[in-house]
Amino acid sequence: MPEPEDLDEALHPLLTALQGRRLAVVTGAGISTDSGIPDYRSPGSTPRSPMTIQQFMAEERWRRHWWARNQVGWHGPHRAEPNAGHRALADLERRGIVTGVITQNIDRLHARAGTTNLVELHGRYDRIRCSQCARTYSRREVARWLDDLNPGWVAERIRDAETAPDADAILTETESFRVAPCPACGGILRADVVFFGDSVPPETVADASRLVDSSDALLVAGSSLAVASALRFVRRAHTQGKPIAIINRGETRADTLATATAHVGTSRALPWLADRLSGTGEPAT
């Protein structure tokens, strides 16, 4: 759907719902699209069938397939820069208006923008851990190992590869790719992210729940809330009777729970809201 040109008219109901309150924020892939990272569900997005954790752990061929694609795809979030939406939320946190951000994204752009109280529901693309001994390694370090095992793999494919928000590149031929084991114990290395079919760690859920509980209202930015791992926190805020404001280019699963919604891109909407919630822009009427 087309975005409204008049932000004052589109966003004033959200400002009314949020003004004077301390906000918890839930974000999804839509906040990072203007940083060049595609989302899953916008019109025209390529249909995807992400690998499950059960596939990854069960068979070497699936691990080859995942690592071959990720060795190309991880460069997408690594090169991306935070946009105006990320920076607006970080500024609101510094001003004490945003209590913290709960994100479904693994791209680390909130952290790079300056958000400090950050709950990464689905993990982070830049950290690898061993499924056996639990040692962790940086993605850059593992990339060097894989480059040594697969000379030229990235250089030959990175220009034409389409990537997804989970750093998955669309490649078909992956059978020749060689996977690195954990150098400490020989175990299976995996990205420190929540795969499909996996569960968000209980301690992460607890951190996000505390953030919602300690806030006066909830703002959702750039998420259709199609995944239950984020939707639960909107329902939690609704049960507590807190105002809920949603900014998303399309409809969401929580629109009926929202106090106010706006179909606007987050890079436009969040700076507008930040200026007015912090008192540096036009006052609410």
Query: Which of 135, 163, 155 has the alpha carbon at shortest distance from 70?
Result: 163
Give SS3 for 195: coil
- Give CA–CA dist 277/91, Å, rounded: 11
In the 8-state DSSP scheme, what is residue 5?
S
Phi then psi dihedrals of residue 177, to 5 deg: -70, 140
Q: Is 75 a catalytic residue?
A: no
Give SS3 for 27: strand
Catalytic residue among 65, 75, 86, 122: 122
| Residue 21, C-beta contacts closer than 8 angstroms, at least 6 positions apart | 215, 216, 217, 243
Torsion from C-alpha of 151, 165, 83, 125, nearest 10 degrees? -60
Query: Which of 26, 44, 75, 84 has the alpha carbon at shortest distance from 245?
Result: 26
Question: Pairing mode, if any, of strands 98-103 and 118-120?
Answer: parallel
* Share of the chain residues as helix, strand and coil, in percent rounded to the nearest 5: 40, 15, 45
Give CA separation, 137 vs 17, 111, 285, in Å. Answer: 43, 19, 51
- Give CA–CA dist 20/110, Å, rounded: 23
> Is residue 145 left, alpha or beta, with left meaning phi > 0 and alpha meaning psi from -120 to 50?
alpha
What positions carry a catalytic annotation?
122
